[in-house]
A and B are shown apart, each in its own frame.
Chain A
Amino acid sequence: MNEMTTITTAKDWASDQEVRWCPGCGDYAVLKAVQRTMPDLGVAREKTVFVSGIGCSSRFPYYMSSYGFHTIHGRAPAFATGIKLANPELDVWIITGDGDALSIGGNHTMHILRRNLDCQILLFNNEIYGLTKGQYSPTSRVGTRSPSTPFGSVDRPVTPCMFALGSGARFVARGIDVHKNLPDVLKAAHAHRGASFVEIYQNCVVYNDDVFAGFTNREVAADKQLWLKAGEKMLFANGTKGLALDVERLALKVVEADDPAVIVHDPRNKGIAAMLIAMPESFPMALGVIYESPAPTFDSAVAEQNAKVSEGKKPDLQALVSKGQSWMVGKEPREL
């Protein structure tokens, strides 16, 4: 963003406010990852704005030393749109959660993605409503027991990255709160011009502990995590297995690493991206940058049109009030 190189440290990005998440919350790890990433981006604090909605994750802006706006439930994308259109020089980050972005704010998430506003959207997915004390969320799996679903939830969850892809997102990525790769994912999101959608699996120790253990636990991580890298083969299980296309079923299949059919990751391939996102539990979890295909951004299109249609026009207020068909009434008021 900034033309001059801004040298900062992770510490420079921490605000003086006491962090108030539950001990052990995954949010701490994400906060640290973001604060560690910011210096590497070479951006200025004063040109950075963190915008959030409501929920545990949405307290995030208070803990960053940049500008921050903690808004209302689900609406952060709309505020961010106004901010970015008003001042395209600002580097805008949206911090949101599964309830905030996909339940009450689903509409705005869809529209910011299809418009492709230049910003980073970090969706902290913990599959639960934390701040309201543990109700199930739109990403909770069927059968989730919670105060509002004592017999288990019966509605089917949304897949955030699939929602993003379907909404027209041009950058879709996944990360894990405590994983060392998260800063790389954040950097890629920042480097992308347009709406960068990042789903971060975030563990809620109080209401939904270990819900992602099936692919985040150390013992299973190698077999259950597929970290995608552009131009590299889709390998996992310590490089022993890979993904290939089952052409007859038009689906992905697991093959041995030396199989020549192992797919090389091309982030511009939307079809494969959709398959990667939708892989069933028996497959590894696709992580990293799943899809990236840049397109003109909303803010630049608005700015260009504003400039283009204003070209050669003088903002003449007197001419504006006098517009249309008008008539003169002479000096002397007419007699009755």
Chain B
Amino acid sequence: MATATHVLTPEESEAHPPQEAVVVRFAGDSGDGMQLTGGQFTLSTALAGNDLATFPDFPAEIRAPQGTTFGVSAFQINFGSCAIDTAGDQPDVLIAMNPAALKVNVKALREGGLIIADEGEFTARNLAKAGYDQNPLEDGSLAKWQLVHFNISQLTLDAVKPFGLGNKEALRCKNMWTLGLALWMFDRDREPIVDWLKSKFAKAPELAEANIAALNAGHAYGETTEMGGVHKHHLDAAPAEPGLYRTVTGAEALSIGLVAGAQLAGLDMFFGSYPITPASPLLHHLSRLKEFGITTFQAEDEIAAVCAAIGASYAGQLGVTSSSGPGIALKTEAIGLAIMTELPLIVVNSQRGGPSTGLPTKTEQSDLYQAVYGRNADAPLPVIAARSPSDAFECAIEACRIATRYMTPVMLLTDGYIANAAEPWKVPDTSKFAPFPVSFFDKAPAEGEGVMPYARNDELARPWIKPGTPALEHRIGGIEKAPGSGNIDYSPEAHAEMTRIRAAKVDGVADSIPDQDVCLGEAGAKLAIVGWGSTYGPIHQAVRRARGKGLDVAHVHIRHIWPMPKNMAVLLKGFEHILVPEMNTGQLKTLLRDQFLVDAKSLPKVSGQPFTIAEIEAAISEALK
């Protein structure tokens, strides 16, 4: 995303011709390998030096019945020679592998945009499954777009014929044929994909060769066949700060951020988790990084996952757990115990649409209330939210810092969009990171003195005493306790005092976080668009465009949701109007109103899809009318 990688000023970007960016959507059956195709196209895009943002959009069913509209899986990528902040409002190119994919996705295509369809899949049966009475490739219903269709299925079968695969296996190479064509269209190098196929199918070289043949055939088809409307299109590399780059998804960035955080704290990490969409990739990534002192534990349920993580923190490691909203709900009682016993813990919530099972594979940011308020009793904890895949790296380190410095659980919010989306990331120099080493308390009490596990430092943090430390044996638990000694104490004074301390300690986190900045525009602008989490991209572009039109609007994006930066009240009160776009029905809006008595207005979106730039741009114009 532009913030991390580019030196473009807003003015430069605004001056830049918009046709230098292209939005391509690959859509097919969930068994067609569209996510894989998209992922490899993303890699080739990154290697070509374009800036990019992606949006994988796939069904909850692993293999929904073939050919149906609810089994359609899509991968959208926006890339260009300019700064890219979102996966793009409207695709310019739609590659549809079957009628259902066309039906579901064509509405989104820009008028005049290009459709490339595999006519081999437009059989009577597949048309019926998708709900088409007539073949849209032939009935003129797609007239407002450019339509190109050919039999990708047959062309693939022809290309892989020499390798003697069965029909089903041969057809699986379709996605590579399509990728080959896309690589030709955008003047890309095939070599990295060939390398990847060779390593992916190292144990089945004939499959590697067949896929490579399909890839080459798709590419050659573009080179040699006259396709009306389809041209080779070269996009220059986007301007970027010099340095080493890689692509990163939110889940990858988060996992290496947690590793970095634990290393900076000088701790081994214990990651307890239970599989849930879209949070599982974090468990998958971390389970391969054991050499960093990481133990991963796939627990029997969400509750055991968080409890084991708390147990590990109690024993002196950095306990981390991860889930999505429904799983976080199950963990809630245990998080309360971590608040009560004041142990470090990081809880990652990869949010998805809800309530209940809701939209498991679709994105939403509707767990803000859950994160800030969603526990029994007065149970405050710090909450931070990542804005993009690469930002998740920094947020993970920040969560480790806060959890260990203040002896508190920390909630780290991300969402399905961030977890799965990829973007280029300038590889940081890890030697420049400031360590925050943890020191365990091991000083034996003086003769006649008791152990004081609930003594406080200046920041109200209690000492971290590991079992195994001689002369400091003590008991902790969920029952209210006396300040200092931590002995069971139900007295009114003890409960009032401990409740006050727990809240004051979390409020005090504001002393060690940066002031809230205005990421585009000026403090005191007529309108502030205040966002959090993955709405960053569309808000940023919309504000940039609006400012290009001369509107007095600023973009404020909040990482520290709780506690908020100390300058937030003054900053927000300086704007005439405040608009809060959120993928929920107005949760941050309510929080801002409650905390700062400002007249924040909500721009909600709960369709399971990210905001488009146009939606926010229109709301800006409306607000400033």
In the complex, which of the residues A17, A69, A107, A323 has the most CB atoms of chain B within 10 Å of its own CB atom?
A69
**Is B472's beta carbon under 8 Å from chain A?**
yes
Evaluate contact between A67 and B467: CB separation under 8 angstroms. yes
CB contacts (< 8 Å) of A75 on chain B: these are 303-304, 307, 334
Which residues, 312 to 340 on B, are CB-close (under 8 Å) to A? 312-317, 319, 333-334, 337
CB contacts (< 8 Å) of B7 on chain A: these are 333
Which residues, 245 to 264 on B, are CB-close (under 8 Å) to A? 245-248, 256, 259-260, 263
CB contacts (< 8 Å) of A309 on chain B: these are 290-291
**Is B487's beta carbon under 8 Å from chain A?**
yes
> Which of B245, B270, B337, B470 contacts A71, CB < 8 Å?
B337
CB contacts (< 8 Å) of B466 on chain A: these are 87
CA distance A75 to B309 in the complex (A): 12
Evaluate contact between B260 and A82: CB separation under 8 angstroms. no
> Which of A321, A333, A335 contacts B260, CB < 8 Å?
A321
CA distance A62 to B482 in the complex (A): 14
Report the interface size for chain A: residues with CB under 8 A from the other chain: 65
Tell me whether A321 and B428 are in contact in the complex, defined as CB-CB below 8 angstroms, given that A78-B303, A329-B241 are known contacts: yes
Evaluate contact between B311 and A327: CB separation under 8 angstroms. no
Which residues, 394 to 430 on B, are CB-close (under 8 Å) to A? 427-430
CA distance A335 to B316 in the complex (A): 52
**Is A320's beta carbon under 8 Å from chain B?**
yes
CB contacts (< 8 Å) of A330 on chain B: these are 242
> Which of A61, A89, A90, A329 contacts B245, CB < 8 Å?
A329
How near does chain B come to A67, taking the closest CB pair, in angstroms? Answer: 4
Which residues, 46 to 99 on A, are CB-close (under 8 Å) to B? 46-47, 49, 51, 54, 61-62, 64-72, 75, 77-83, 85-87, 89-90
CA distance A286 to B244 in the complex (A): 69
**Is B215's beta carbon under 8 Å from chain A?**
no
Which residues, 280 to 336 on A, are CB-close (under 8 Å) to B? 302, 305-306, 309-310, 313-315, 317-318, 320-336
Tell me whether A82 and B47 are in contact in the complex, defined as CB-CB below 8 angstroms, given that A61-B475, A70-B475 are known contacts: no
CA distance A330 to B240 in the complex (A): 9
CB contacts (< 8 Å) of B316 on chain A: these are 86-87
How near does chain B come to A313, taking the closest CB pair, in angstroms? Answer: 4
**Is A45's beta carbon under 8 Å from chain B?**
yes
Tell me whether A78 and B467 are in contact in the complex, defined as CB-CB below 8 angstroms, given that A83-B315, A321-B428, A326-B244 are known contacts: no
CB contacts (< 8 Å) of A111 on chain B: these are 299-300, 304
**Is B308's beta carbon under 8 Å from chain A?**
yes
Tell me whether A46 and B468 are in contact in the complex, defined as CB-CB below 8 angstroms, given that A65-B473, A71-B337, A86-B316 are known contacts: yes
> Which of A17, A54, A83, A333 contacts B312, CB < 8 Å?
A83
Tell me whether A66 and B242 are in contact in the complex, defined as CB-CB below 8 angstroms, given that A82-B311, A324-B247 are known contacts: no
Evaluate contact between B311 and A80: CB separation under 8 angstroms. yes
A73 (CB) vs chain B CBs: closest residue:
B333
Evaluate contact between A87 and B303: CB separation under 8 angstroms. no
Evaluate contact between B307 and A317: CB separation under 8 angstroms. no
**Is A15's beta carbon under 8 Å from chain B?**
yes
**Is B123's beta carbon under 8 Å from chain A?**
no
Evaluate contact between A336 and B291: CB separation under 8 angstroms. no
**Is A108's beta carbon under 8 Å from chain B?**
yes
**Is B431's beta carbon under 8 Å from chain A?**
yes
Report the interface size for chain B: residues with CB under 8 A from the other chain: 82
**Is B478's beta carbon under 8 Å from chain A?**
yes
Evaluate contact between B304 and A323: CB separation under 8 angstroms. no
Evaluate contact between A315 and B478: CB separation under 8 angstroms. no
CA distance A251 to B50 in the complex (A): 76
Evaluate contact between B317 and A86: CB separation under 8 angstroms. yes
> Which of A62, A107, A324, A331 contacts B475, CB < 8 Å?
A62
**Is B16's beta carbon under 8 Å from chain A?**
yes
CB contacts (< 8 Å) of B305 on chain A: these are 78
Evaluate contact between A67 and B475: CB separation under 8 angstroms. yes
How near does chain A come to B243, taking the closest CB pair, in angstroms? Answer: 6
Evaluate contact between B240 and A315: CB separation under 8 angstroms. no
CB contacts (< 8 Å) of A110 on chain B: these are 300
Evaluate contact between A86 and B311: CB separation under 8 angstroms. yes
A329 (CB) vs chain B CBs: closest residue:
B240
Evaluate contact between A47 and B467: CB separation under 8 angstroms. yes
Evaluate contact between A82 and B263: CB separation under 8 angstroms. no
> Which of B242, B304, B469 contacts A332, CB < 8 Å?
B242
Evaluate contact between B478 and A72: CB separation under 8 angstroms. yes
CB contacts (< 8 Å) of A328 on chain B: these are 242-245
24 CB contacts below 8 A, A to B, read A61-B475, A67-B468, A70-B476, A72-B307, A72-B478, A78-B300, A78-B303, A79-B307, A79-B311, A81-B304, A81-B311, A82-B270, A86-B317, A87-B315, A111-B300, A306-B290, A310-B290, A313-B291, A315-B263, A315-B291, A326-B427, A329-B49, A329-B245, A333-B240
Interface residues of A (CB under 8 A from B): 15-17, 44-47, 49, 51, 54, 61-62, 64-72, 75, 77-83, 85-87, 89-90, 107-108, 110-111, 302, 305-306, 309-310, 313-315, 317-318, 320-336
13 more A-B residue pairs beyond the given contacts A17-B488, A317-B263, A333-B241, with a C-beta to C-beta distance below 8 A: A44-B470, A62-B477, A67-B468, A68-B475, A78-B308, A79-B307, A82-B312, A111-B304, A310-B290, A320-B289, A323-B246, A324-B246, A324-B248
Closest 8 CB pairs of A and B: A82-B311, A70-B477, A82-B308, A78-B307, A68-B475, A86-B315, A78-B304, A79-B311
